[in-house]
Amino acid sequence: MKGTNKTDTKKPNIFKRMWKGIKEIVSELKKVSWPTFAKVMAETGIVIAVVVFFLLIILGFDSLLAWLFTLLVK
């Protein structure tokens, strides 16, 4: 009786697996369709405008509540 039914397939060492992973990542990044600079700037402008809009709404609401609180305390 020879023993176990283990197969003789061993994993490659950690450095070979890491190098393979890095090569796969680079391969996938080459497939990505990157946006143009103009598109990035336009979408950044939209994000900033939305943030400022909500900032003003929250600031107004906070000011209203602060004013109501001072009326209540006086």
pLDDT, tens digit, 9 for 90 and up, residues 51-74: 999 999 999 999 999 999 999 998
How many structural domains compose the chain? 1
Q: Is residue 52 part of a domain?
A: yes
Q: Would you state the pLDDT for residue 26?
A: 94
Q: Is residue 61 part of a domain?
A: yes
Q: Is residue 14 part of a domain?
A: no
Average of per-residue pLDDT across 15-26: 92
3-state secondary structure of 10: coil
Q: Is residue 26 part of a domain?
A: no
- Residues spanned by the domain of 66: 35-74
Q: Is residue 20 part of a domain?
A: no
Which residues, 6+ apart, have CB-to-CB distance to 35 below 8 Å?
43
Contact 52, 46 (CB under 8 A): no
